[in-house]
Structure 1
Amino acid sequence: MARKLKVGIVSANWGMRAHLPAWHATQEAEVTAVCTSRRETAEAAAREYGIGRPFWDAATMCADPELDIIDVGTRPDLRMPMVLAALAHGKHVFASANFAADLHSARRIRDAARAAGKVCVLDSVFPWQPAHRQVKRMIEAGTTGAPFAVNARLHISHFAAADAGGAGWKWFGVRKHGASAMRNLGTHSLHLLTCLLGPVEEVAAQVKIARPEWRFDDGTVMRPEVEDTAQLLLHFRSGVMGTLALGWSSPGKTGWQMEITCQDMTVMTIDEEGFACGPRLRLLGAAGGKPLASLDLDPDLLEPDGIVFAKPPTIPQVHDIAPAVKQMIRAIRHGESAWPDFEASFHVEAVLDATRRAAASRAWVAVERD
């Protein structure tokens, strides 16, 4: 059996709680290093999660010759130098969504990945959820006929009430950090839509700050600088037309829904509990004017080969992250494709940049191609 690949994670929060169990579930990787910005937090995380080597400087960890993969789980505005350092030292990179703080940073990261020739993947995992993989199989097999329209919605309640999200999420409301409902929820949604339907040609949009105050469980109040609600019109290069509705301050948690209308069949995925999560995601479909009904998923999608959890994950998204990192490992070992790679990630960032400009101009804006 090939040796386990060694992973270093930059993040003591989401990286430890969600990425670490996913890497270990592949049985082909071992997280051997963790990095935070301070020595005391790095050493505390290493003790808590049983990791041998703490770092408090990301550049030092990226240079470590024992590591094969750097998992970068920081804020978008902090990410670029870490990714560039990892690539400069010959590491493969797994990075958190969204891709970068802006299109300029995204281009620099994409170009560095091209030059390095390493496997680079974003953790935008909607395309790896079983129901969505089933939809892709059906479209590629011709079961549905050619798609011609899509309507998708992702509305969560993260900033709707003080107990919906902790005070640690305040950074989401500061524009320079590179987050917003459009950027964060849009990244995940657009990676799926482009995986299924191909690149986006142009976009029109409206965005707004519908909830001008965020209240947190520590009693603090902030006025966010970023939009919490967005509506996109999408024109795909294939001719498919679409809508995408996004929001993270909804008083009612309506969750995820995607409806793709094809020539021979309508398919829908839905998760009413919030951010789309593979174990909860349902697939429905219908043809001949009949009502939508539940569709079965292929067994290999429900139980991906080679993924074994030592204990049930406490965070349900781990079920979706594990197959994503598994296919990254296969790409490293065998030269297979990985999705979403940094080329796909740059395209999604270009769509988001076009969305920003479209909302400001109230006109259709073409998506930058390079």
Structure 2
Amino acid sequence: MKQIGVGMIGCGGIALQNHLPGLALCPEAKLVALCDTNAEVLQKAVQQTGISAAFTNYLDMLNREEVNAVIIATPNFTHAPIALAAINAGKHVLCEKPIAMNFAESKAMLDAAEKAGVRHMTAFTYRFVPAMRYMAHMVKSGFIGEPYHFRSCRLQDWGTRAVGWRQIAKLAGTGELGDMLSHRIDYAHLLVGPMTRLVADMRRYHDVRDGQVSDLEDWVAIMAEFQRNHATGVLESSKVATGRGESGKSQDYCEVNGTEGTLVFQLERPLELQISKKGETSLHTVPVPTEFLKWPGSKRDPHAGDPIMTFRYDQDMEFIQAIVQQRPCVPSFLEGAQAQAVMDATVVSTNEKRWVNIEQVR
């Protein structure tokens, strides 16, 4: 079978740390082109990959016949125009989250991709954590019964350090909401299902980061109601949780309580869950079964490398497998649009200080 030619649009840290190692594990795929508007970043990627087909304009890349699919890892404001151009060119698309600046853009991306018949995927990376995969399985199998509560808490300490384009509204749309809480919104959808309404608040504690203006929030919290069983949800995310650290070693906590049991996930322990059943009075720890340690079909050795990093590579395997098998990606632009609808409602609720109904994608 002919290899799938992949073009990387945006060659910064996420592309080099997450997507390149993931593609390297996919024998059906081959990285064939690179694109970045920053010549220095592009040159670094060229040196690291040995790929000579390098572009500063994504339209030039999309004209290349050998490019069958693209991975978009650029600032948020460029996601929709790049994705729509790629779809129009008949390319399959994996896009970093949040996939758009607002719900209308995300819905346009979803509709265009489905009309064109191309594969489309949202990079909700943390769905691929073994413990989260097992947690979703346990919920689906009925372990917790009907859900009562969902809660997530993502705490990091960035202090007044700059976060680049992510602190600029015209480039990112939202701050902590889109950067970190979007993943936890997806947790909620994966485990409990659609939210129907919410009330939220966002705060910015630092107007300047490393001498650079910041006009986006660095803390956000949501209280929500779900369609299923009228379950409740509480989601919080912060970049100013002093002393909490950063990345995979900082707190990323998710819990679901139901009529029959409770499940607890923590990113720093990606290969285990804490569980409790009705009648018990405390949680106990269980290992993730072997079949959930990697994505089905993944060539990755689940026992090699840092488990807080290596699960990320499976999302690229899923993207390529979906193209080969001509089936929908998981998660797709549908899940990206569903998360964007919640994000839009969060912004409205914060600005208008009221409960807001969440627009449903379908």
TM over 0.5: yes
Show CA shifts across 1:19-59 (max 9, x none): 11111113321211111115564344212222242122101
Contact 2:126 2:312 in 1 (8 A): no
State the AA in 2 paired with 1:5: I
Give the structure 2 partner of residue 6 of structure 1: 5
Structure 1 stretches of 4+ moved >4 Å = 38-41, 312-316
Give the structure 1 partner of residue 197 of structure 2: 202
Give the structure 2 partner of residue 285 of structure 1: 275
Q: Distance in 2 between matches of 1:101 and 1:302?
A: 33
CA apart distance, 1:198: 1.0
Give the structure 1 partner of residue 220 of structure 2: 230
- Size of the alignment, in residue pairs? 350
Q: 1:269 aligns with which of 265, 282, 292?
A: 265
State the AA in 1 paired with 2:212: M
Q: Distance in 1 between matches of 2:300 and 2:260?
A: 37
Q: CA RMSD in A?
A: 2.2
State the AA in 2 paired with 1:116: A
Contact 1:18 1:315 in 2 (8 A): no
State the AA in 1 paired with 2:292: L
SS of 1:295's equivalent in the other structure is strand
Q: Distance in 1 between matches of 2:7 and 2:29?
A: 11
CA apart distance, 1:231: 1.1
Is residue 2:9 matched to residue 1:19?
no
State the AA in 2 paired with 1:255: Q
Using structure 1 for the length normalisation, give the TM-score: 0.88
SS of 1:142's equivalent in the other structure is coil
- Aligned residue runs from structure 1 range 64-213, under 5 A: 64-157=64-157, 159-162=158-161, 169-177=163-171, 178-213=173-208
Using structure 2 for the length normalisation, give the TM-score: 0.90
Contact 2:145 2:259 in 1 (8 A): yes
Q: 2:300 aligns with which of 280, 303, 308?
A: 308
CA apart distance, 1:173: 1.3
Show CA shifts across 1:74-95 (max 9, x none): 0011222211111011110001
State the AA in 2 paired with 1:199: P
Contact 1:27 1:306 in 2 (8 A): no
CA apart distance, 1:314: 8.1
Give the structure 1 partner of residue 251 of structure 2: 255
Q: Distance in 2 between matches of 1:223 and 1:63?
A: 37
**In 2 relative to 1, CA 25–19 (structure 1 residues): closer, same or farther, beyond 3 Å?**
same
Single out whichever of 299-308 and 224-233 deviates more from structure 2. Answer: 299-308
* Structure 2 unaligned regions, length at least 5: 245-249
**In 2 relative to 1, CA 314–161 (structure 1 residues): closer, same or farther, beyond 3 Å?**
farther
State the AA in 2 paired with 1:245: E
Contact 1:229 1:246 in 2 (8 A): yes
